[in-house]
Homo-oligomer: A and B are copies of this chain.
Amino acid sequence: MVKCMEKAAVIGVGQTRFGELINKGYRELLLEAFNEAKNDVPKGFDADEVQSIFIGNLGCGGSQLGNLSSLAAESLGLIGVPATRVENACASSGYAFMLGAMAVSHGEYDCVLVCGVEKMRDVSGEKGRYWLGISGDTEWERLAGMTFPGNYALIASRHMYEYGTTREQLALVSVKNHKNGASNPKAQFQRSITLEAVLNSMMVAYPLTIFDCCPTSDGASAAIICRADLAKRYTDTPVYVVGYGAGSDTLAVHTRKDPTTLSASVKAANKAFTMANLEAKDIDVAEVHDCFTIAEICAYEDIGFCKKGEGGKFVMEGHTQIGGKIPINPSGGLKSKGHPIGATGTGQIYEIVKQLRGDTEKRNRQVSNAEVGLTQNVGGSGASAVVSILRR
């Protein structure tokens, strides 16, 4: 494995608000995110400097548009620039970011745009279930009636059985993330919720209530990555990509040795830590893939923020709150910020870059003096995962 330490830097990030954005299409969303990313580069950035585009998208939109790589190039005024769509289910733009960072780290390109987009809110229930469902296992899960909430409910039940994790602990992930999201002007749900509200809300798949599940969302996000040795031309506060890694696993949950461990995440994190020459304890802030509350608890354990089986206790003791040992999902996470599939990965990058620069919009969701951040983006029910580590 090569070391890419400080060979690539994020110089600008942009994100639309996530939510129900019925009156905006792929083009408008991408343009809004890209324009914000360009304007986020303090010393100015010319679109012509983009040498390649990596775009994450699942395609569950009802927008009737395909060929999103060329569509992105065209709608961003970058006609001619090589563009590639990367699809890894819910980890699409996390993977796109890794590939973009990889290409820049090795000097293949001086500067690339990584972005992600998804339209989910104008898709009917049946069509939406199909599009999401095919990212899981089809023969053993989807066609038997299993959905993602069902899959994560299995994982949660097993975690409760094996480690004594409680419904309250799961719910506290949601309470924390909603609290953070309430201070994020880009979040879909900008309001706090109580523990009781989570526990007493509609049951989706035991033990997960509707407030244990992230919403469906529209949105786009973007990050401009350039060679680290060129970064100071653009900004005095570059954020370096110091590690990345990815892994895969079986599509179906029942085939895994231990359903409570997302081994794709473990592999991804280990690779990223090795590349960065860092450990979990060195991370100051992280955005993880809390598609369901149990997923965040698994993420704590899989990344190594706490020991196996202690994720429930870890959130209950407040360690993952802003101000805690390792603040997780200060953006509100997928739960409160929203989860426009293809835009989630670069949305996590957006938040970590803002956190490391200390310029989140509202001070009460700013993690003090964070130097090293991590993102973890998961596809399917843990069938793939990608982890990136950034440092200011």
A89 CB-CB contact with B under 8 Å: yes
Q: Contact at B384–A64, with CB atoms within 8 Å?
A: no
Nearest B residue (CB) for A90: B67
A residues with CB within 8 A of B: 2, 52, 59, 64-71, 73-74, 78-89, 95, 99, 102-103, 106-108, 131, 133-136, 138, 142-143, 245-251, 263-264, 267-268, 379-380, 383-384, 386
Copies in the complex: 2
**A135 and B384 contact, Cβ closer than 8 Å, known pairs A87-B85, A248-B81:** no
Contacts of A82 in B (CB 8 A): 245-248, 267-268, 384, 386
Expressed in whole angstroms, the minimum distance between the Cβ of A227 and any Cβ of chain B is 11
**A249 contact set on B, CB distance < 8 A:** 70, 79-80
A66 surroundings in chain B (CB, below 8 A): 89, 131, 133-135, 138
Closest to A71 in B: B251
Beyond the given A67-B135, A80-B248, please list 10 additional residue pairs across the A-B interface where CB-CB is below 8 A. A65-B138, A67-B251, A67-B384, A68-B87, A69-B248, A80-B267, A83-B88, A84-B86, A84-B99, A99-B99
- A384 contact set on B, CB distance < 8 A: 67, 69-70, 82-83
Beta-carbon contact of A251 and B74 below 8 Å: yes
A68 to B85, CA, bound (A): 14
Residues of B within 8 A of A136 (CB): 67
Interchain nearest-CB distance for A47 vs B (Å): 14
